[in-house]
Amino acid sequence: MPIKTPSDTPDVTAGAATSLAGHPRYTSDADARAAAATDRSGYIPPTLPDGVIRARSVDDVVEALRLAHAHAIPVVPRGAGTGLAGGASAHAGEVVVDVSGMNRILAIDPVEMTAVVEPGVLNAEVNAAAAEYGLFYAPDPASTAICSIGGNIATNAGGMWCAKYGVTRESVLGLRVVLADGRILRTGRATIKGVTGYDLNALFIGSEGTLGVVVEATLRLRPRPVRTETVAAYFPDIETAGRAASAITAARIQPSILELMDGPTLEAVDQAEGTRHRELGGAFLLAQTDGYGAHLELDEIARAISPYATSTHRAASAEEAEALVKARRDAIPALERLGRVSIGDIAVPRNRLAEAFAGLEDISAQTGVRIFSVAHAADGNLHPMIVVEPHESIIDGPAKAALGDMFHLAQRLGGTLTGEHGVGLLKREWVGEELGETSRAVQQAIKAALDPSGILNPAKAI
């Protein structure tokens, strides 16, 4: 059963969003509104947004927010629509500002190793352009081929390479942002270092479109590694694999990728792709190292996990390594073939991974909900994925109970509600519990200062 439109959405009369109909990029076409109504979270809004503005320029966004501010119309910023927390979902009385058409790479400086891009550029497109100069963009979500830089910035996305190179925040030097009233704000700088003023750059990264609309980003690129080594290991169960991953951290080895998949997820991938990973064990650990000493670091990883693994396999070629990485990337598409998927995003201290996996198995048994688990093991970020039948809800009943239990599990282990997907709409119920009254009040004060009318992505994040 769909949830009601959140009560803290600004009060607007029916059809009030037609005040934006004069925008040259505005459409109220039913198909366009349906296509822009939600993201990849599995959440289905009970109503459609009133309209969509398909921005193609900074001026388009400025005019959209100027009009929205003048008429108190709620605005939902949208990129590629690959978010996993309902952050881009839109309802009646709201207008979507779609920036996916702002998709140009404006400049690449191979000496300074920076790129200036618009928000609709896909993550993989940045990497393809950077590769021509022997560079790469480090944040690497599993959805790299379809997710956009603007959305990555909105949620402070991570991915597999964040094990070594950090999440989006570590790779964004500066932003150009349109504020709620249409003013343009520049944050950060074009240099690697800079501490003038407050760090507004970091404030907007991860703000989920609630403080402004990103229209340009200056990204930090890095030299492509001269060498990469890959090993796959299999274990009797996911808890043992979790202990092996914690052993790598305890040995102070810095992999560039360290990914875990449980047995049920391996089965789903095998069914979808014709592979045979599940036959080799009840859990799968993928590790990569890079740089001049990659082979030596991989030797140390092999030693750290040997007491736990039932088998290990070192990739003999780049093609074999890519096939192993692809198995991890295939997890979500494989599960989407089984039903409606809600992708969890908790994080725990890295030495408590095994406990977290055991807790997820208990939650599945107690709620009767199917849970498939993968993890960015190097930073303790787990993605327990709930799969329900296509007609079942992910926002109430057993699925919601399981989601709440996941958060409380992470909390008990010293962790957090979300590591990289954001709060969006689906997790707001537990935000106050994690932040506490003082932190949440401070954050709401910041929101009020930048968006006093509350028109930017209302009822999301904090």
Query: Measured over all CA atoms, what is the biggest interatomic distance in the chain, rounded to whole angstroms?
Result: 67
- CB within 8 A of 296, min separation 6: which ones? none
Question: What phi and psi, each to the nearest 5 degrees, are found at residue 433?
Answer: -65, -35
Strand bridging mode 381-388 / 346-347: antiparallel
For the purposes of burial, counting CB atoms within 10 Å of the CB of 256, is it exposed (0-12), middle (13-18) or buried (19 or more)?
buried
pLDDT confidence of 9, banded at 50, 70, 90?
Answer: very low
Region 251-263 average pLDDT:
96
Lowest mean pLDDT among 16-20, 210-214, 314-318: 16-20
Picking from 62, 66, 68, the residue whose alpha carbon sits closest to that of residue 49 is 68
Find where tokens 């343009």 sit: 184
Find where tokens 């007491």 sit: 307
Is a pLDDT exceeding 60 seen at residue 11?
no
Picking from 435, 440, 371, 439, the residue whose alpha carbon sits closest to that of residue 405 is 371
CA distances for 324 relative to 258, 316, 329, 331, 385, angstroms: 12, 11, 9, 12, 21
Per the prediction, the chain carries an average pLDDT of 93
The 8-class DSSP code of residue 191 comes to S
How open is the CA angle 37-43-44, to the nearest 5 degrees? 50
Q: Which two tokens stand for residue 93?
A: 């009385």
Rounded CA-CA distance 339/11 in Å is 35
Q: Which two tokens stand for residue 203?
A: 């404030």
Rounded CA-CA distance 376/383 in Å is 8
Region 180-199 average pLDDT:
95
CA distances for 169 relative to 138, 196, 219, 344, 442, angstroms: 11, 17, 10, 21, 21
Q: Which two tokens stand for residue 342?
A: 């809600």
Q: Which pLDDT score, from 0 to 100, does residue 360 have?
A: 97
DSSP string spanning 63-96?
A: HHHHHHHHHT--EEEESSS--SSSTT---TT-EE
Query: Taking the CA of residue 301 as centre, how many other CA atoms within 13 Å lie in the half-sphere pointing to its CB?
Result: 29
Question: What phi and psi, each to the nearest 5 degrees, are found at residue 233?
Answer: -130, 150
Over pLDDT 90: what percentage of the chain?
88
Rounded CA-CA distance 347/165 in Å is 18
Is a pLDDT exceeding 50 seen at residue 6?
no
Is a pLDDT exceeding 80 seen at residue 105?
yes
- pLDDT tens across 159-182, in order? 899 899 999 999 999 999 999 999
Q: Where are the alpha helices (DSSP H) in 238-395?
A: 238-250, 263-273, 294-305, 318-329, 331-336, 353-367
Picking from 221, 164, 169, 159, the residue whose alpha carbon sits closest to that of residue 200 is 169
- pLDDT tens across 413-452, in order? 999 999 999 999 999 999 999 999 999 999 999 999 999 9
pTM of the full structure: 0.91
Rounded CA-CA distance 379/419 in Å is 9
Q: Which pLDDT score, from 0 to 100, does residue 396 have?
A: 86
Picking from 141, 279, 127, 292, the residue whose alpha carbon sits closest to that of residue 225 is 292
Identify the sign of the CA torsion 215, 79, 14, 393. negative
